[in-house]
């Protein structure tokens, strides 16, 4: 039972990878996502894999799945009718928030409406001190009245978030018991279990998101497991977590908020995997699919995490305009730039690309499914980057005339441009949007993008990678094998993991390291209890950190802590750890200010899949080209004949200079003039810019 299945649902396509670890045989599949019920698309993909590799699906031990279900439910407001039970006086916490304006100049500023409407937010009599001491005992009759009121209003899921329950959860557990007695069929989310961490607004918001999406997640996972069985795949279902690990479907049912960024996390893990194989210690993961582009920094084979995360932004990607969800997520930058991003002429006569997407239905005009608006994929086809007859390995033909008509009618004609100029305008604008966002993202982390290698994947990523790299000043691009389904591959190489947090506020000068050790031990026990049954304690490793800040600050930074006992740590060594992180972020430290610890964090990591060797990855062909076709070169600003290769024909050590195009069934790589390509021993395409052509990072535009 060494066969593993990975499936990743995106906004446009659903990707599949099936691997036999013993023989290293790999089968892949890509199909359009079924938005009405994404599990239908997964079932179709499983059946297609079974047809291509008879008997393998039935031997799969695990099916690792990435889904956008939870985040879509929040964005589209399609979750359950949710009730919130909170401490008296805190009914309007979700609307009050932090009372912080994300745009000081917007006189008509708006914020997202709470997922729980005001009549569904009810108060109970109780009060807990910040130390965990009970000030007012829980009035059980007020709880019964609150629950009865919610039931009368048709509640489908209940969130419970009481004041300071992160310090003492006794009252939340009592409320839980009463709800189960009165309405055993109603799903319950307790903040002391979802997020046992200080800050009432963020804790309540995260718990509400968990409750809001819980019924949908339960129904979806039930359907998924049933469809797997019907398709002849009785494998154990595991889910990709937002923090970059995997865990059981049972865990995802209880804590769906933990899979809110399930899909994007897998791509970054795939990039980290191939970066390690290539011996690269600083890479920028670039995942461009049909709807969005995601970027993530990977250093020393590790992807950074953050808990500063929001969803359902009122202003797309504007920090502070969304619903806070304080769970560990990979530290990604995401913008609305994908193959399906729609291009339009604005009121002032400029071209805007995205963030709206044509999605899977109707999709870009070239898909021939009724779409009439021009998209990035349409521009890629008109510019010669895509082969209309080889898309998805020939399983899906592209309609070039429809693409030309969409660009001509909506962009070229209004702006009096040629068809090619309009298409390149779309291509160049989407790349410049991504480059601008990437520069800000990398700079905010105290890094220089020119020191990084760009690892590009996703259905559209390899097409845009070289031009994007030129705009960033990046001189090396790596395209991993099967780049179009790299996120699905990332699901398979991800380790089993679990993240937990405890608020433990103490001044650094009086920090009790024995107390820190005791809390970390308690957290380790929780991690073990949350692992799938197949994972034993001896297989786990632990990563620890602490949220620290200067006394009086409102925000903190995550400081790595030693893996072993804290006995050797002192106030001086802990300050030195903090100073290293703080100086990297802000350029200086303040030795005269006192420090305090706010939260302790722990990640338990189980075993991951073995790395795949190069023999099963590289092609064994002659390396001979399949022909040539004209395609637009951004550097030269003109069409040039590009030599066309099939990736399956390229073996280890193959090298060639641009302009050239490498086609595979799920993605197309475009290598422009001035770039050279080689194939490494693990099947990755390594593309490097000639030193004389590197410029200052603003070329190609």
Percent of the chain whose pLDDT exceeds 90: 62
Which positions ≥6 away from 476 have C-beta within 8 Å? 453, 454, 469, 686, 687, 688, 689
Neighbouring CB atoms inside 10 A of 237's CB total: 18
Higher pLDDT among residues 359 and 580, named by residue: 580
- Considering the domain architecture, whether residues 502 and 568 belong to the same structural domain is answered as yes
Residue 144 is assigned to a structural domain of this protein: yes
Tell me how crowded residue 143 is: count the other CB atoms within 10 A of its CB: 24
Tell whether 311 is covered by a domain. Answer: no
Most confident by average pLDDT, 165-179, 329-343, 623-637: 165-179
Average pLDDT over the chain, rounded to whole?
Answer: 90
Q: Is the per-residue pLDDT at 38 higher than 90?
A: no
What is the C-alpha separation between 683 and 650, in angstroms, rounded? 8
Burial 550-571 (b: 16+ CB within 10 A, else e): beeeeebbbbebeeeebeebee
**H or E element in which residue 44 lies:** helix 38-52
Decide if 17 is inside a domain: yes
**Residue 536 CB burial class (10 angstroms; 0-12, 13-18, ≥19):** exposed
Inform me whether the pLDDT recorded for 258 exceeds 70.
yes
Task: Kindly indicate the confidence band of residue 283, based on its pLDDT and cuts at 50, 70 and 90.
Answer: very high
Residue 563's pLDDT band, with cuts at 50, 70 and 90, is confident
User: How far apart are alpha carbons 195 and 343 in whole angstroms?
Assistant: 41
Note the pLDDT of residue 344.
95
632 and 647 housed in the same domain = yes
Shared domain for 640 and 598, answered yes or no, is no
Which pTM value belongs to this model?
0.83
Most confident range (mean pLDDT) of 136-140, 394-398, 483-487, 583-587 is 136-140
pLDDT on residue 99: 83
Confidence (pLDDT) at 621: 65
Compute the average pLDDT of residues 119-124. 98
386, part of any domain:
no
SS3 39: helix
pLDDT tens string 163-191: 999 999 999 999 999 999 999 999 999 99
The residues that bridge with 310 in the sheet, in sequence order, are 324
Quick one: pLDDT band at residue 693, thresholds 50, 70, 90?
very low
Are 69 and 30 part of one and the same domain?
yes
In a domain, 87, yes or no: yes
Q: Is residue 203 part of a domain?
A: no
One domain, residues 52 and 137: no
Q: How confident is the model at residue 620 (pLDDT cuts 50, 70, 90)?
A: low
Q: Which residues have CB under 8 Å from 654's CB, separation 6+?
A: 623, 677, 678, 679
Do 123 and 163 lie in one domain? The reply is: yes
Q: Could you tell me the CATH number of the domain that includes residue 49?
A: 3.30.420.40
* pLDDT tens digits, one per residue of 187-242: 999 999 999 999 999 999 999 999 999 999 999 999 999 999 999 998 999 999 99
Residues 43 and 106 in one domain: no
- Do 166 and 119 fall within a single domain? yes
Kindly report, residue by residue over 136-149, the tens digit of the pLDDT. Answer: 999 999 999 999 99
The average pLDDT across 471-489 equals: 92
Query: Which of 399-403, 614-618, 667-671 shows the lowest per-residue confidence on average (mean pLDDT)?
Result: 614-618
Quick check: 662 pLDDT over 90? yes
What φ, ψ does residue 189 adopt, rounded to 5°?
A: -125, 120
Q: For residues 578 and 645, state if they share a domain.
A: no
pLDDT of residue 618: 52
Per-residue pLDDT at 183: 97
Phi, psi of 323 (to 5 degrees): -90, 120
Q: Looking at residue 696, what is its pLDDT? A: 39
Kindly state whether residue 249 falls inside one of the protein's structural domains.
yes
Q: Is the pLDDT of residue 266 over 90?
A: no
> Does 536 share its domain with 635?
no
pLDDT (mean) for 617-644: 86
What's the N-to-C CA distance of the chain in angstroms? 51
Query: DSSP string covering 308-330, please?
Result: --EES-SSTT-TTSSEE--S-EE
Residue 320 has pLDDT above 80, yes or no: yes
In a domain, 349, yes or no: no
Q: How many other C-beta atoms lie within 10 A of the C-beta of residue 92? A: 12
Residue 112, CB half-sphere, CA atoms under 13 Å: how many? 24
In a shared domain, residues 16 and 59? yes
The region of weakest confidence among 303-312, 366-375, 638-647 is: 303-312
- 238 shares a domain with 172: no
Q: How confident is the model at residue 3 (pLDDT cuts 50, 70, 90)?
A: confident
Question: Which whole number is the average pLDDT over 265-289?
Answer: 89
Mean pLDDT of 530-552: 89
pLDDT class of 515 with cuts at 50, 70, 90: very high
| pLDDT value at 71 more than 80 | yes
Q: 391-421 pLDDT, tens per residue?
A: 877 778 899 999 999 999 999 999 999 999 9
Across residues 461-467, what is the average pLDDT?
A: 96
Residue 613 has pLDDT above 60, yes or no: no
Whether residue 300 has pLDDT greater than 70: yes
Environment class of residue 229 by beta-carbon count within 10 Å: exposed (0-12), middle (13-18) or buried (19+)?
A: exposed
Taking residues 308-321, report their average pLDDT. Answer: 80
* 627 vs 619: CA distance, rounded Å: 18
**Structural domain of 227:** 3-74+218-259
Q: Is the per-residue pLDDT at 66 higher than 50?
A: yes
Tally the domains of the chain.
4
């Amino acid at each position: 039972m060494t066969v593993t299945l990975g499936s990743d649902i995106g906004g446009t396509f659903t990707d599949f990878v099936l691997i036999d670890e013993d023989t290293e045989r790999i089968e892949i599949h890509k199909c359009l996502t079924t938005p009405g019920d994404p599990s239908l698309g997964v079932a179709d993909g499983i059946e297609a894999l079974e047809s291509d590799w008879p008997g393998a699906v039935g031997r799969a031990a695990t099916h690792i799945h990435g889904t956008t279900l939870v985040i879509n439910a929040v964005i589209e407001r399609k979750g359950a009718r949710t009730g919130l039970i909170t401490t008296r006086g805190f009914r309007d916490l979700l609307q009050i928030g932090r009372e912080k304006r994300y745009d000081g100049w917007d006189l008509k500023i708006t914020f997202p409406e709470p997922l729980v409407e005001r009549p569904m937010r009810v108060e109970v009599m109780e009060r807990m001190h910040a130390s965990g001491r009970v000030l007012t005992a829980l009035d059980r009759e007020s709880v019964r009245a609150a629950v009865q009121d919610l039931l009368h209003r048709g509640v489908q899921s209940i969130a419970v978030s009481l004041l300071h329950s992160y310090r003492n959860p006794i009252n939340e557990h009592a409320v839980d018991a009463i709800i189960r007695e009165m309405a055993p069929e109603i799903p319950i989310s307790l903040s002391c279990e979802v997020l046992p961490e200080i800050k009432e607004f963020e804790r309540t918001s995260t718990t509400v998101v968990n409750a809001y999406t819980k019924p949908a997640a339960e129904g979806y996972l039930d359907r998924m497991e049933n469809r797997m069985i019907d398709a002849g795949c009785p494998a154990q279902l595991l889910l990709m977590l937002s923090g970059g690990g995997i865990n059981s479907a049972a865990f995802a049912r209880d804590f769906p908020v933990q899979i809110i960024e399930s899909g994007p996390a897998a791509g970054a893990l795939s990039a980290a995997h191939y970066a390690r194989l290539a011996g690269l210690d600083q890479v920028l993961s670039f995942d461009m699919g049909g709807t969005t582009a995601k970027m993530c920094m990977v250093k020393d084979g590790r992807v950074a995490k953050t808990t500063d995360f929001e969803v359902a932004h009122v202003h797309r990607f504007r920090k502070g305009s969304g619903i806070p969800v304080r769970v560990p997520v990979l530290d990604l930058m995401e913008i609305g730039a994908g193959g399906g991003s729609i291009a339009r002429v604005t009121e002032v006569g400029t071209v805007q690309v995205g963030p709206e997407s044509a999605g899977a239905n109707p999709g870009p005009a070239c898909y021939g499914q009724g779409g009439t608006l021009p998209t990035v994929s349409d521009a890629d086809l008109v510019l010669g980057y895509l082969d209309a007859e080889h898309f998805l390995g020939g399983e899906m033909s592209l309609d070039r005339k429809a693409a030309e008509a969409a660009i001509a009618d909506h962009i070229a004609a209004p702006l009096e441009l040629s068809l090619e100029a309009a298409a390149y305008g779309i291509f160049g604008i989407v790349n410049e949007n991504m480059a601008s966002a990437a520069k800000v993202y990398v700079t905010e982390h105290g890094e220089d993008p020119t020191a990084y290698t760009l690892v590009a994947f996703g259905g559209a990523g390899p097409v845009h990678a070289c031009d994007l790299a030129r705009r960033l000043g990046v001189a090396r691009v790596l395209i991993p094998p099967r780049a179009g389904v790299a996120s699905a591959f990332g699901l398979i190489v991800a380790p089993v993991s679990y993240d937990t947090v405890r608020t433990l506020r103490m001044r650094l000068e009086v920090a009790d390291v024995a107390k820190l050790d005791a809390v970390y031990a308690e957290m380790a026990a929780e991690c073990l209890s949350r692992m799938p049954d197949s994972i034993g304690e001896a297989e786990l490793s632990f990563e620890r950190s602490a949220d620290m800040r200067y006394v009086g600050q409102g925000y903190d930074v995550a400081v790595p802590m030693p893996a072993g006992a804290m006995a050797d740590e002192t106030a001086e060594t802990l300050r030195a750890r903090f100073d290293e992180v703080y100086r990297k972020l802000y350029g200086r430290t303040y030795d005269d200010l006192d420090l305090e610890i706010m939260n302790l964090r722990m990640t338990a990591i189980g075993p991951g899949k073995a790395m795949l060797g190069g023999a099963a990855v590289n092609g064994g062909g002659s390396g001979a080209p399949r022909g040539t076709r004209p395609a637009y070169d951004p550097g030269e600003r003109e069409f040039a004949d590009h030599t066309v290769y099939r990736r399956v024909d390229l073996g280890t050590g193959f090298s060639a200079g641009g302009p050239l195009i490498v086609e595979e069934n799920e993605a197309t790589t475009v290598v422009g003039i001035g770039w050279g390509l080689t194939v490494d021993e693990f099947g990755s395409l390594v593309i490097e810019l000639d030193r004389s052509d590197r410029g200052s990072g603003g070329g190609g535009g």
